[in-house]
Amino acid sequence: MTFLDYAIDGAFALLLLAVLGAFTRVVRGPSLADRVIALDLLAIALVAFSGVYAAESGEVAFLDVSLALALVAFFTTIVFARYIEQRGTTPPPGKAETR
């Protein structure tokens, strides 16, 4: 076994710990913002997992998968951030919002 094999195994182990920690934060919260950040961390860990697997297997297609997943995760985080921002600035009942 080469040093690269040990490094890849270590990367998989650390990514698994990151996924478990992020999943715990998604479930336990306490706020919506914490859950959104944890979902972003899950997506980043999955992108990294795909990249490490591409390095291990030599399949270049997994790099395309990780790129697409990174773009989707980025836009999803933007949408959630926009939702959280608008949720905190809703006008009181009976008042129309002007823009």
Spell out the domains of the chain, with CATH numbers in brackets.
Answer: 3-88 (1.10.287)
CA 35/CA 19 separation, integer angstroms: 13
The helix/strand/coil state of 89 is: coil
Q: How many CB atoms lie within 10 A of CB 50?
A: 21
- pLDDT (tens digit, 9 = 90+) per residue, 2-27? 999 999 999 999 999 999 999 999 99
Locate tokens 């990249």: which residue?
A: 51
Please indicate, yes or no, whether the overall pTM of this predicted structure exceeds 0.85.
no
Angle between the 32-57 and 3-28 helix axes, to the nearest 10 degrees?
160
Mean pLDDT estimate for the chain: 90
